[in-house]
Amino acid sequence: MRKAIAPIVALIVVGAGLATFFALRASPEPVTSTYFLMDTVLTVKTTGGDATAINEHLHALASGVDSMTSYYKSESETVRVNTAAGRGPVSVSPEYAALLKAAMAVETIDHGETFDIAIAPVSSLWGFSTKDFRVPAAKEISDTLAYSHSDQLTIADSTVQIRDSRARIDLGGVAKGYSLDVMEEYLHTVTPQPRQVIVDFGGNLLLYSGGQKHDWKIGIRDPRGQGIIGYVRSGDAFVATSGDYERYFERDGTRYCHIIDPSTGYPGTLNQSVTVITGMEPMQGAIGDALGKVFFCSTAETQHSLFPAAQNQGAIGIVIVDAAGTRSTLGPITFVPTTDQ
Amino acid sequence: MKRSDRITAVVILTAMALVAVTWIVMHRTRGTVAVVRVDGRVVATVDLTLREPQTLHITGVLGPLVIAVDGKGSIRVTESTCTDRICVHTVPARSPGDQIICVPNRMVITVEGKGTGIDALAQ
């Protein structure tokens, strides 16, 4: 009988060894990198593949988008277009023209009432570009608002022209989402493929698992505290959130957030946060980012009536926390609230 | 029971124990900790489950920052030389995934640990 034990022992030892080996091999450690750009934080968490190199490359791609779209950097295409306001057409790169067109396409779903890339002069009045915050006089706002609309823009194939010399454009509302588009396009071409990449760019997410069809659990931040109010599930996606809780200032007990409602010239007050989920199609990162602003500056009724148009643009689902803190969703997504302890 | 059966049983149990230990070691999760990074480099790690309050003095890219751990599971920034002071006004962090960010100082506090089970936080 003794002889019978040896093979059993050998089998168990080899089995345990193999199990451990495959378990370790199956779960490579994620590599997390943090970068600072566009006045916020970019965190990339890559599991599998050449993770460190992927993280570095994603950062470089975001820096490229920043250099192209920045409202402040003197060599950016935005600054070139703005400096030529009132003077004539400026030639822009095909990428820049495509981004402008995507942003303008979102504007058209409600005629620029809730999102307008040309609202920049009004945002500047409030001090959001200099962080020298103030509440402007009503007259100042209405005078500035008169020329702060994208109907000031003429976009041809490769040129952009701003007619009024005082008008300005700012792509800050789509630049983070667009960066995620550029990253996603690159990730598809990488070999060996990473198993998972989670990009968090100032709270805007890219969730990538390539062909693995991962079922992601996306936490929705509590807009009036830390922690989450619940989560939604999704496959690979872009997730864009517009909230009133990150960039804002307070005067005499009133909160003024950085998202200016282009129909009034005042900061949006209808919602606390809006999270838009879009799928992995070209430009969906930028479009989701812009749709976030549209729904942030909309009433519940408008949100419902605009949702079919948003779906046509690519929106899968939207999670909304309104000004009273009431939560709702649009589209075929299930929001699972956190049970209060 | 034969002696050989007993040996077999011991061997099987030992093997199972080994697999169990390996499993636990591989899936070990830390308690809730706050990781403080400046420019992507970890400068402090604080166990938020500790009961005694403590104060951290760290150096950001811009200047000094004071971070308070209240001994009740929360961490916050109490002093910073940055102009917008968004970090000081951020709600104290306590749950996994919570973040406090000071962009001028390139400083990020992230609460890590098990608990929420989410992959990413939309904010």
In which domain, by residue range, is B1 found? 1-30
pLDDT > 70: percent of chain B = 92
How does residue B40 score in pLDDT terms, banded at 50, 70 and 90? Answer: confident
Q: Are A141 and A265 in contact (CB under 8 A)?
A: yes
Q: Based on the domain organization, do B69 and B108 belong to the same domain?
A: yes
Phi, psi angle pair for A318, to nearest 5°: -135, 135
Helix (H) or strand (E) holding A80: helix A77-83
What confidence tens digit (pLDDT) does each residue in A111-156 have?
A: 889 999 999 999 999 998 888 899 999 999 999 999 999 999 999 8
Q: Which two tokens stand for residue A285?
A: 């990162």
User: Does any CB of chain B come closer than 8 Å to the CB of residue A158?
Assistant: no
Q: Which of A8, A39, A243 sits opposite B11 (nearest CB)?
A: A8
Beta-bridge partner residues of A67:
none
Q: Are A258 and A173 in contact (CB under 8 A)?
A: no
Give the residue extent of every domain in chain A: 28-82+173-337
Residue B24, pLDDT > 80, answer: no
Q: Taking residues A187-211, what's their average pLDDT?
A: 95
How does residue B30 score in pLDDT terms, banded at 50, 70 and 90? Answer: low
Q: Based on the domain organization, do B43 and B103 belong to the same domain?
A: yes
Long-range contacts of A321-324 (CB under 8 A, 24+ apart): A321/A220, A321/A223, A321/A229, A321/A271, A321/A272, A321/A273, A321/A274, A322/A270, A322/A271, A322/A272, A323/A269, A323/A270, A323/A271, A323/A272
Q: Based on the domain organization, do B10 and B54 belong to the same domain?
A: no
Give which of A98, A27, A88 is closest to A68, Cα–Cα.
A98
Q: Based on the domain organization, do B49 and B10 belong to the same domain?
A: no
Residue of higher predicted confidence among A230 and B19: A230
Q: If you measure CA to CA, which chain B residue comes closest to A234? A: B119
Residue of higher predicted confidence among A16 and A58: A58
Contacts of A36 in chain B (CB under 8 A): 39, 103, 106
Q: Based on the domain organization, do B37 and B19 belong to the same domain?
A: no
Q: What is the DSSP-derived secondary structure letter of residue A126?
A: T
Residue A338, pLDDT > 80, answer: yes
Residue A331, pLDDT > 80, answer: yes
Contacts of A33 in chain B (CB under 8 A): 40
Q: From the options 3.30.420.40, 1.10.10.10, 1.10.1030.10, 3.10.520.10, give the CATH code of A28-82+173-337.
A: 3.10.520.10
Residue B26, pLDDT > 80, answer: no
Q: Are A286 and A99 in contact (CB under 8 A)?
A: yes
Give which of A304, A114, A110, A278 is closest to A206, Cα–Cα.
A278
User: Does any CB of chain B come closer than 8 Å to the CB of residue A8?
Assistant: yes
In DSSP notation, A256-282 reads EES-B-TTTSSB--SEEEEEEEE-SST
Look up the pTM and report it.
Answer: 0.85
How does residue A225 score in pLDDT terms, banded at 50, 70 and 90? Answer: confident
Q: Based on the domain organization, do B37 and B3 belong to the same domain?
A: no
Rg of chain B in Å (alpha carbons): 22
Counting the structural domains of chain B, the total is 2
With respect to residue B117, please indicate whether it lies within any of the assigned structural domains.
no
Task: Please report, as a single letter, which amino acid is at residue B44.
Answer: A
Give which of B102, B68, B100 is closest to B83, Cα–Cα.
B102
In DSSP notation, B16-78 reads HHHHHHHHHHHT-----EEEEEETTEEEEEEETT-SS-EEEEEE-SSSEEEEEE-SSS-EEEE
Q: Which of A13, A19, A226 sits opposite B94 (nearest CB)?
A: A226
Q: What is the DSSP-derived secondary structure letter of residue B120?
A: E
Q: What is the DSSP-derived secondary structure letter of residue A57?
A: H
Distances in Å between the alpha carbon of B69 and those of A224, A322, B78?
21, 32, 10
Q: Are B55 and B66 in contact (CB under 8 A)?
A: yes
Strands A196-201 and A204-208: antiparallel
The ipTM, to two decimals, is 0.81
How does residue A341 score in pLDDT terms, banded at 50, 70 and 90? Answer: very low
With respect to residue B120, please indicate whether it lies within any of the assigned structural domains.
no
Helix (H) or strand (E) holding A206: strand A204-208
Separation in Å, CA of B118 to nearest CA in chain A: 5
* Vertex A56 angle, CA A65 and B29, to 5°: 120
Q: What is the count of residue pairs from A and B with beta carbons less than 8 Å apart?
A: 110
What confidence tens digit (pLDDT) does each residue in A170-181 have?
A: 999 999 999 999
How does residue A231 score in pLDDT terms, banded at 50, 70 and 90? Answer: very high
With respect to residue B123, please indicate whether it lies within any of the assigned structural domains.
no
Separation in Å, CA of B63 to nearest CA in chain A: 16
Q: Taking residues B24-28, what's their average pLDDT?
A: 60
Q: Based on the domain organization, do B8 and B53 belong to the same domain?
A: no
Mean pLDDT of chain B: 87
Q: Based on the domain organization, do B12 and B58 belong to the same domain?
A: no
Separation in Å, CA of B2 to nearest CA in chain A: 9
**What pLDDT is recorded for position A340?**
53
Residue A248, pLDDT > 50, answer: yes
- CATH number for the domain spanning B49: value is 2.60.320.10
In DSSP notation, A139-199 reads HHHHHHHTT-SGGGEEE-SSEEEESSTT----THHHHHHHHHHHHHHHHTT-SSPPSEEEE
Rg of chain A in Å (alpha carbons): 23
Separation in Å, CA of B27 to nearest CA in chain A: 11
Judging by beta carbons within 10 Å of its beta carbon (0-12, 13-18, 19+), is residue A185 exposed, middle or buried? Answer: middle
* Vertex B112 angle, CA B111 and B118, to 5°: 105
Residue A2, pLDDT > 60, answer: no
With respect to residue B68, please indicate whether it lies within any of the assigned structural domains.
yes
Residue B123, pLDDT > 80, answer: yes
Q: Based on the domain organization, do B38 and B79 belong to the same domain?
A: yes
* Count of residues making up chain A: 341
In DSSP notation, B7-31 reads HHHHHHHHHHHHHHHHHHHHT----
Q: Do B19 and A19 touch (CB under 8 A)?
A: yes
What confidence tens digit (pLDDT) does each residue in A265-309 have?
A: 999 999 999 999 999 999 999 999 999 999 999 999 999 999 999
With respect to residue B118, please indicate whether it lies within any of the assigned structural domains.
no
Give which of B37, B97, B115, B109 is closest to B68, Cα–Cα.
B109
Contacts of A131 in chain B (CB under 8 A): 83-84
**What pLDDT is recorded for position B65?**
95
Residue A12, pLDDT > 70, answer: no
Calpha distance A207→A5 (Å, rounded): 50
Distances in Å between the alpha carbon of A242 and those of A133, A171, B107?
20, 15, 23
Residue A18, pLDDT > 90, answer: no
